Structure 1
Amino acid sequence: MLALWIGIAAALAAPQEAAVESAVHERLLVAAESSDQVFELSFDGEDLVIEHVLEVGYQATEIEGPHGLTVAPDGRHWYLSMAHGKPNGLLYKYETGTNRLVGEAELGLFPATMQISPDTGFLYCVNFDLHGDMTPSSVSVVDVEGMVEIDQIVTGSMPHGSRLSPDGSRHFSCAMMSDELIEVDAVTMEVARRLLLTDGTELPTGGAGHAMETGEGGEEVAPARAAVSKPTWVQPHPTRRVAYVALNGAHQVVEVDLDTWTIARRFPTGRAPYNLDVTADGERLVITYKGAQSVGVIDLASGEEVARIPTSRRIPHGVVLTPDSSFAFITCEDKGATPGSVDAIDLRSLKRVSSVDVGLQAGGIALFPRSARPYFER
């Protein structure tokens, strides 16, 4: 009889446990740059919900500017770049499940977006450098086990959009004020190639007739020039040997052939494309239009924009996509004391299905692996 009751109890409990497990589809982190907060959100397929708010930084009287977010591939830790320092910014390491600060490292001027390589295990963070003259800045390389910066690779002026190839062997970033796409060998930590994005011509890295100049440390850097296209983000395709670059100043996205290192296609976009991501199935490109209060969805086979979806706030910023290519999550800034927001967009219906207000100037955004359990589920 006892065994029978145990069996019945287990049968009754199983559907409930399955329901609890499926109630939350995704878990997100969002940085509010002008309120020094990180928001943890859940999404059940219909509604975005704020589960926890973490106050970050160490200067009570200063806005320190939490900017970039990334989660370790194993989901055990997450990382936050703090843009404003004295003068250098910081990288913070938090333990997933407790949100306990477990490490920090000083980086360069205005550290921004970042990603961890599955190949080297190192974190690569661009130092955006908003200070003074538009001189070449760098990518910081960090050993996240010991939280030690092991190198700063000089790239271009105002580097942004730090992203790695799917295998983690190559690092890509945009030099916003020198109109370049820059490829770094993630193993040797040296600049491998540069591509001028203004008209599709290649900017050589050496040899006869090259257009490079020598920096203070003897490294080759792009010559000073007025930015035209102002690239702000790069995203490699998950399966094809191409990468996509948002040209904020030209209202275009370019497709770069990584084998020939040339621009293969140009797509017209809404005003001021800023961040972008490619769906895991490789079929669509999702772009935030910072100057058009909307998100664009481009079919990569045809190159046509299939939808332009209005956002809940005036200045769309970051974008992450679910691993099943079903949803996009968008951070939106606004102006003055108006709070930022996060939007959930259904990529099947091509409609915004949920929005939630967060802190001021919502920017950085990251998605937890589905196996990771963040703070609010502990």
Structure 2
Amino acid sequence: MSFKRAFYAMMIGGFLFMGTSNSFAQDYYLYVAAESDDEVHLVHFNAETQKGEISETIRVGTWPQENEGPHGLTISPDGSHWFVSIAHGMPYGKLWKFETGTNEFVGEVELGMFPASMDISASTGLLYVVNFNLHGDMEPSTVSVVEPESMIRLGDIKTGIMPHGSRINSSGTRQYHVSMMTDELMEINTETLEVQRRLKLSEKDMSKEMSASTDHSGMDHSGMNHGEMKHKPVEKPTWADPHPSKPLVYVAANGSNEVLEIDTKNWKVTKRWETGKAPYNLEVSHDGKLLVVTYKGEGATGIWDLDSGKELAKIKNSRKVSHGVAISADSKYAFISVEGIGGEPGSVDIINLESLKRVDVVETSKQAGGIIFWKQEG
């Protein structure tokens, strides 16, 4: 079991011990990064009143005159620290560490170009963060490995072109991430620190030369240099998340408007579900029953039943550009970061996964992106 899921399980166990009565009020806490304002918000949601609010705003970055872009977030195994990737370094980004609760800065370490999503392994205790390399040449990038206690970067693992969404399986032995520009799912052995397997996700021939007119409008990423690109991506995968108890990984195929299910035992795609436009981020609920998917291209979130493979609901988000997903430890709520467009603020949309309705919207600073659940109390 991964550190994150182990922590969630511990939290849930405490609630089950107290009983299942609805008379207990629940308070949920999460962090969300506002990438265009160099801020991270601590968000509190009260399940009794069905209202959320920003409890605290934490400034990040070194240079007030520059936008340094907090992007990905994760929480330490014991819940005592949170980590954020600072994407827009010159040229390299950084990983910053803070205390939860006090939100005091602890330390930092330099990473690769445009570090993005990250997770911590229950097996090794190490943090693995992908370097998305958004503004660099179209060439293979890396996954940086960090010892989170000392904040020492141990090394880099070579991977595909523009790696993005990444998560570690429940045992902590394998890290999964996608390579957006080579249409691949990557599996890293967290102990040997090597890419163990690569899976081509596209059913189509990728050997054709890529034209300079490739459309990335669904991704909403500007400034890409395609001069070094050799293949035309079809799926353009943007996120991967393992099932908490089954040998399955789910992938958001942003380019083909699909969610892919991958059997990790047989290492093949077993299901393809047609989705809303430009699925971007996804997460499996901690009870393993639901899959929550953001549709970046249409400002909506899909809720899928994993047993039937059916979309139970498509919920319109509060703004047009949907981004990240974080699900509460008890699998009752999904928290969706929504970027907004231009100078408008971002938001966190709170969805009740039992009623399949949006219950509240919390306004944030601009371009709400990376989001991670911290804890629940009550």
TM value normalised by structure 1: 0.85
The structural deviation recorded for 1:54 is 0.9
For residues 42 and 307 of structure 2, the distance between their equivalents in structure 1, rounded to whole angstroms, comes to: 35
Residue 176 (structure 1) aligned with residue 180 (structure 2): yes
For residues 307 and 57 of structure 2, the distance between their equivalents in structure 1, rounded to whole angstroms, comes to: 40
Residue 330 (structure 1) aligned with residue 336 (structure 2): yes
Aligned twin of 1:9? none
Match of residue 73, structure 1, among 54, 71, 77: 77
For residues 308 and 99 of structure 2, the distance between their equivalents in structure 1, rounded to whole angstroms, comes to: 43
Q: Which amino acid aligns with 1:308?
A: K
Larger radius of gyration: 1
Q: Secondary structure at the match of 1:156?
A: coil
Q: Secondary structure at the match of 1:178?
A: coil
Aligned twin of 1:190? 194
Superposition pairs for residues 1-378 of structure 1, below 5 Å?
Answer: 23-45=25-47, 46-199=50-203, 224-370=230-376
Unaligned runs of 5+ in 1: 1-20, 202-222, 374-378
For residues 25 and 307 of structure 2, the distance between their equivalents in structure 1, rounded to whole angstroms, comes to: 34
For the 8 Å contact 1:178–1:224, the answer to whether it is kept is no
For the 8 Å contact 2:38–2:60, the answer to whether it is kept is yes
How large is the Cα RMSD of the aligned pairs?
A: 1.8
The structural deviation recorded for 1:370 is 3.4
For the 8 Å contact 1:27–1:41, the answer to whether it is kept is yes
The structural deviation recorded for 1:323 is 1.5
For residues 283 and 96 of structure 1, the distance between their equivalents in structure 2, rounded to whole angstroms, comes to: 29
TM value normalised by structure 2: 0.85
The structural deviation recorded for 1:24 is 5.0
The structural deviation recorded for 1:281 is 1.4
Unaligned runs of 5+ in 2: 1-22, 206-228
Q: Secondary structure at the match of 2:159?
A: strand
The structural deviation recorded for 1:28 is 0.8
Aligned twin of 1:213? none
The structural deviation recorded for 1:23 is 4.9
Q: Which amino acid aligns with 2:52?
A: L
The structural deviation recorded for 1:369 is 3.0
Q: How many equivalent pairs are there?
A: 333
Q: Which amino acid aligns with 1:225?
A: H
For residues 174 and 41 of structure 1, the distance between their equivalents in structure 2, rounded to whole angstroms, comes to: 29
Runs of 4+ in 1 over 2 A off after TM superposition: 21-24
| Cα deviation code 1:271-324 (max 9, x no counterpart) | 000000011111111100001111001111111111000000111100011121
Q: Which amino acid aligns with 1:180?
A: E
Q: Secondary structure at the match of 2:244?
A: coil
The structural deviation recorded for 1:41 is 0.8
Aligned twin of 2:222? none
For the 8 Å contact 2:32–2:368, the answer to whether it is kept is yes
Q: Which amino acid aligns with 1:369?
A: K
The structural deviation recorded for 1:55 is 1.0
For residues 370 and 301 of structure 1, the distance between their equivalents in structure 2, rounded to whole angstroms, comes to: 27
Aligned twin of 1:6? none
For residues 79 and 325 of structure 1, the distance between their equivalents in structure 2, rounded to whole angstroms, comes to: 23
For the 8 Å contact 1:158–1:177, the answer to whether it is kept is yes
